Amino acid sequence: QKEVEQDPGPLSVPEGAIVSLNCTYSNSAFQYFMWYRQYSRKGPELLMYTYSSGNKEDGRFTAQVDKSSKYISLFIRDSQPSDSATYLCAFLVAGGYNKLIFGAGTRLAVHP
Amino acid sequence: KAGVTQTPRYLIKTRGQQVTLSCSPISGHRSVSWYQQTPGQGLQFLFEYFSETQRNKGNFPGRFSGRQFSNSRSEMNVSTLELGDSALYLCASSSTSQGGIQYFGAGTRLSVL
Give the pLDDT confidence score for residue B1 in this predicted structure. 67
Count of CB atoms within 10 A of residue B15's CB?
11
Instruction: Name every chain B residue with its beta carbon within 8 A of the beta carbon of A49.
Output: 101
Which of the four pLDDT bands, split at 50, 70 and 90, describes residue B98?
confident
Residues of chain B neighbouring A46 (CB-CB closer than 8 A):
101-103
How many contacts (CB atoms, under 8 Å) link A and B? Answer: 61
Give every CB contact of residue B8 below 8 A, 6+ residues apart in sequence. B21, B22, B108
Q: Write the residue in A41, A96, A105 that is nearest to B42 by C-beta.
A: A105
Q: What is the mean pLDDT of residues B59-63?
A: 96
Per-residue pLDDT of chain A (112 residues; tens, 9 = 90+): 789 999 878 999 999 999 999 999 999 999 899 999 999 989 999 999 998 889 999 999 999 999 999 999 999 999 999 999 999 999 998 776 788 999 999 999 999 9
Say whether B102 and A100 touch across the interface (CB within 8 A).
yes
- Whether the per-residue pLDDT at B49 is higher than 70: the answer is yes
Determine, for residues A98 and B104 on separate chains, whether the beta-carbon distance falls below 8 Å.
no
Give how far A92 is from chain B: nearest CA, Å: 8
Distance from CA of B43 to the nearest CA of A (A): 6
Query: Which pLDDT score is estimated for B67?
Result: 97
Length of chain A: 112
CA distance A98 to chain B (A): 6
B4 has a pLDDT exceeding 80: yes
Summarize the confidence of residues B78-90 as an average pLDDT: 97
**Residue B82: is its pLDDT beyond 90?**
yes
- For B12-45, how does the pLDDT look when each residue is reduced to its tens digit (9 = 90+)? 999 999 999 999 999 999 999 999 999 989 999 9
User: Three-class SS string for A48-73?
Assistant: EEECCCEEEEECCEEEEEECCCCEEE
Cβ density class B52-87: b for 16+ within 10 Å, e for less: eeeeeeeebeeebbbebeeebebbbebeebeeebbb
Q: Which of A49, A97, A101 sits opposite B55 (nearest CB)?
A: A97
Helices and strands: H and E segment counts in chain A: 0, 11
